[in-house]
Amino acid sequence: MQLLRLAWALTGAAVCCFVILLIHSHVLKEGQLAAGTCEIVTLDRDSSQPRRTIARQTARCACKKGQIAGTTRARPACVDALIVRSRQWCEMTPCLDDEGCDLLVNHSGWTCTQPGGRVKTTTVR
């Protein structure tokens, strides 16, 4: 009798797992992002000029209401849309923890200054 109960319990658990997987596959179809996440789609680097590298990246984000694609700690992220509208880029914490953030004079982007003095400049299209 106990063996029969164990078999039913295992069958019930297997059916439950199958239903969860089925629901998950319908909610997040292949290639879909979870809400509030981003992924890098393309990354191009141009090192043709000495001591200068130009990097361009394209990210795809699935942001929640009130958020927009931005940058946090040098990675694509969903940030408060007000930060982007007001062009106060440093408020989204775009630089790494040990770097300092400064707005460009015309608010078209920001710079991240590393402790050794190296500067990374990011402009927004």
**Secondary structure (H, E, C), 28-39:** CCCCCCCCCEEE
Looking at residue 29, what is its pLDDT?
54
pLDDT beyond 80 at 109 = yes
Q: For residue 99, name the pLDDT band (cuts at 50, 70, 90).
A: very high
| Mean pLDDT of all residues in 60-77 | 89
Radius of gyration of the chain (CA): 23
The structure's pTM equals: 0.66
